[in-house]
């Protein structure tokens, strides 16, 4: 008896290219005026080449400037803005140097039990999880079987969406890393999501040579071909 395989919606999650804040070790959050640096602009242009020829049903982006810039340079200047895809609100930490935050008492909780953390004056990690996972599944359902949907977002939101698809407990989502300009793909099936890839695209040498980065705000990936500034 022949088995018929159902075609399902694929969600292509793309973290914005490297920003000036990434390169300087700053937790940018939702700060205005944070643009891509030279490396990030190159990553964004390369994304356009990687996606060329794909049959896309729709392209969406976070409202934050560095995501909209990445989408535009990748060839999607008319990407629809979805507020729920925005970066986590880091509250009072926004604009701080990451190295200065490591000593904060709540830092250890962010690494071990992020589901219990609310950033001072900002959003809770659990609220961010709920917001972005609902947005991801809603966009996938909107376009139905055989649809391929591209989403430009941020490090922590994409980590949350991937952790949800993997079936990981929320407190384990720090096991996932997504690089600037990295492409991850989830296929949404009736029985469960299937993660097809994480961090596709870009030179593997740069990923293998990545600097160790704090696990909040996504961090920076810089290798020999992408000097840290």
User: Does the structure show a pLDDT above 70 at 101?
Assistant: yes
* Buried-state track 157-171, b at ≥16 Cβ within 10 A, e below 16: bbbbbbbbbbebebb
**What pLDDT does residue 220 have?**
59
State the number of CA atoms in the 13 A half-sphere of 26 facing the CB: 17
**Global confidence as pTM:** 0.90
**What pLDDT does residue 211 have?**
61
Averaged pLDDT for residues 102-126: 93
Between 108 and 4, residue with greater pLDDT: 108
Averaged pLDDT for residues 65-82: 98
Show the DSSP H helices in 32-184 as ranges: 38-51, 65-73, 98-101, 107-112, 125-143, 155-166
User: Does the structure show a pLDDT above 50 at 185?
Assistant: yes
pLDDT digits over 161-171, tens only?
999 999 999 99
pLDDT digits over 138-153, tens only?
999 898 777 899 999 9
**What pLDDT does residue 216 have?**
76
d(CA 228, CA 220): 9
Query: Which of 47-51, 82-86, 178-182, 207-211 reaches the highest mean pLDDT?
Result: 82-86
Segment among 10-19, 20-29, 35-44, 208-217 with least mean pLDDT: 208-217
Helix, strand, or coil (residue 48):
helix
User: Does the structure show a pLDDT above 70 at 60?
Assistant: yes
Q: What percent of the chain has pLDDT over 90?
A: 72
Averaged pLDDT for residues 69-89: 98
Taking CA atoms, 73 is separated from 36, 41, 47, 68, 181, in Å, by 10, 7, 8, 9, 12
d(CA 133, CA 53): 28
Residue 195: other Cβ atoms inside 10 A = 17
9-208 maps to CATH 1.10.238.10? no
d(CA 182, CA 180): 5
**What pLDDT does residue 212 have?**
52
Q: Give me the count of residues in the chain.
A: 229
């Amino acid at each position: 008896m022949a088995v018929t395989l159902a075609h399902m919606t694929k969600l292509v999650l793309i973290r914005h290219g490297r920003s000036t804040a990434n390169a300087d070790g700053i937790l940018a959050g939702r700060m205005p005026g944070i643009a891509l640096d030279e490396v990030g602009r190159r990553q964004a242009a390369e994304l356009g080449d990687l996606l060329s020829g794909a049959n896309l049903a729709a392209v969406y982006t976070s409202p934050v400037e560095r995501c909209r810039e990445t989408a535009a340079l990748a060839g999607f200047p008319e990407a629809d803005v979805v507020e729920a895809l925005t970066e986590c609100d880091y509250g009072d930490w926004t604009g701080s140097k990451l190295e200065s935050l490591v000593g904060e008492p709540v830092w250890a909780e962010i690494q071990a039990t992020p589901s219990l953390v609310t950033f001072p004056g900002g959003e809770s990690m659990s609220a961010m999880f709920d917001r972005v996972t609902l947005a991801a599944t809603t966009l996938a359902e909107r376009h139905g079987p055989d649809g391929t949907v591209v989403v430009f977002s941020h490090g922590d939101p994409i980590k949350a969406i991937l952790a949800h698809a993997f079936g990981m407990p929320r407190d384990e989502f720090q096991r996932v890393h997504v690089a600037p300009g990295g492409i991850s793909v989830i296929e949404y099936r009736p029985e469960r999501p299937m993660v097809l890839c994480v961090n596709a695209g870009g030179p593997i040498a740069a990923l293998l040579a990545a600097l160790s980065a704090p696990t909040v705000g996504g961090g920076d990936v810089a290798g020999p071909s992408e000097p840290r500034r």
